[in-house]
Structure 1
Amino acid sequence: VMKATEAKLLDFLKKSPQFVIPIYQRTYSWTEKEVRQLWDDILRAGQNDDISAHFMGSVVYVEKGLYSISAQSPLLVIDGQQRLTTVSLLIAALASAIGEGEPIEGFSPRKLRNYYLLNPEEEGERHFKLILSQTDKASLISILKDAPQPKEHSIRITENLKLFQELLVGQKEDLETVCKGIAKLMVVDISLDRDQDNPHSFSRV
């Protein structure tokens, strides 16, 4: 009924067509403290060849399509939205910070956007890998489109993006370490069987 596998976060993002945050979940809420903690973990892993992986916890989801006719069925995220959103903000900021070039294999701005943030061949909402709820949704989409923020925007999303941009400026002589650290992030990928498990019985973290 429940499948749990360890996965590199980047591989997991790359293969997943789309994550959708259900409307009943609380909105994105990570504070500066949590963002800085993740940043420190990424730098520590990136600087140290003895650290092979940094576990970020689990991502729990249900396939949204009742019948999986297409492989493009969105995944309904039951747990893990805070981590997925924060990493998406970091990748968006990193793609801009790199500008041109490829600090390490696979980390060119184009690859970062097209593997982990966007579905380049899709249109409309399907173009985006992560669909948040409420004001978070419009704010993240504006960032990914490089468009101005809507009047009703998400403070946490915009502030955490700004924080990553500032941290990356401080690290601009060594973006390779950031890339290496992100490549070491691991999650436990937990998929629930839609018919067997009621997602409402899971904690709404």
Structure 2
Amino acid sequence: MQLLDGRVQYVVPRWQRRYCWGQADIERLVEDLLAVAGAEPDATHYGGTLLTFPEPGPEGVVRTVRVVDGQQRLTTVSILLACIGDELGPNGDCEGWTKRDILDDRLTNPRKPPDKFRKLRLQDGDEEEYRDGLAGNMGGAGAVSQAWRTARRIVVKHDLARLLRGLKRLRVVSIGLDANECGGGRARRYWHDPTPG
């Protein structure tokens, strides 16, 4: 199962801290991705843990998943993917990835209402800057806009195929809490690859 596959929307609750990764954090992640991309074919990079609380809902609709921990990595990977898609352009293709594939498969839920369209929803000002960045406006003053600008600089100066190989090899442990978790319920653990492949 892929982390961003299917009809899903990750929502960062208001009580969570806001996005705070800076240039050094993003560069360190990219360095790790580039290193694993150049390693042996079965090498992977552990990208940390994503702790979530899936909300119950009917089958066939966009699942809402509250992010309890891991939003910094999830947001950064999403921004990197969007920047790679922009660099590919409308007709570009790299290792079987196109801008449309990235948008439709990993960043949005096509043909869904506006409140369920994006696969990632942040909080307060972070949400506005994330949405503006997806639309190509990276001029805000906050950490999310800075992440867009940093990711854009990184993507432009690196080989897209190598970045994509690194992202394909990124692994995240996703722990989904049951509805009863706060009262001693069980957690489900999964290995996820947040990218296509």
TM-score interval, smaller chain: 0.7 to 0.9
Instruction: Say which SS state the counterpart of residue 58 (structure 1) adopts.
Output: strand
Matched, 1:161 2:151: no
The change in CA–CA distance for 1:178 and 1:29 in structure 2 (over 3 A counts) is: same
Q: How well do the aligned residues superpose, as a CA RMSD in angstroms?
A: 1.9
Paired letter, 2:30: W
State the distance in 1 between where 2:99 and 2:141 align.
25
State the distance in 1 between where 2:174 and 2:124 align.
25
State the distance in 2 between where 1:148 and 1:48 align.
33
Aligned pairs (5 A) from 1:136-147: 136-146=126-136
**Residue 46 of structure 1 contacts residue 178 of structure 1 at CA under 8 Å; is this kept in 2?**
yes
Which runs of at least 4 in structure 1 moved beyond 4 Å after TM superposition?
Answer: none
TM-score, normalised via structure 1 length: 0.82
Which segments of 5 or more consecutive residues in structure 2 lack a partner in the other structure?
184-197
Shift of 1:142: 1.5
Matched, 1:12 2:3: yes
State the distance in 2 between where 1:154 and 1:195 align.
39
**Residue 138 of structure 2 contacts residue 145 of structure 2 at CA under 8 Å; is this kept in 1?**
no
Equivalent residue, structure 1, for 2:93: 102
Paired letter, 2:21: W
- % identity of equivalent residues: 26
Aligned pairs (5 A) from 1:186-197: 186-197=171-182
State the distance in 1 between where 2:113 and 2:132 align.
15
State the distance in 2 between where 1:154 and 1:130 align.
20
Matched, 1:69 2:54: no
TM-score, normalised via structure 2 length: 0.85
Equivalent residue, structure 2, for 1:36: 27
Shift of 1:147: 5.0
Shift of 1:94: 0.6
Shift of 1:63: 1.2
**Residue 51 of structure 2 contacts residue 174 of structure 2 at CA under 8 Å; is this kept in 1?**
yes
Equivalent residue, structure 1, for 2:161: 176
Paired letter, 1:188: V
Tell me which protein shows more helix as a share of its residues.
1
**Alignment deviations for residues 32-72 of structure 1 (CA, whole Å, 9 cap, x no partner):** 1110000101111112235521110111111123xx32342
Which of 1 and 2 has higher RCO (CA within 8 Å, sep 6+)?
A: 1
**Residue 51 of structure 2 contacts residue 177 of structure 2 at CA under 8 Å; is this kept in 1?**
yes
Paired letter, 2:156: V
Paired letter, 1:187: V
Shift of 1:196: 3.1
| Residue 25 (structure 1) aligned to one of 3, 16, 35 | 16
The change in CA–CA distance for 1:135 and 1:91 in structure 2 (over 3 A counts) is: same
The change in CA–CA distance for 1:164 and 1:52 in structure 2 (over 3 A counts) is: same
Which segments of 5 or more consecutive residues in structure 1 lack a partner in the other structure?
1-6, 199-205
State the distance in 1 between where 2:42 and 2:31 align.
13
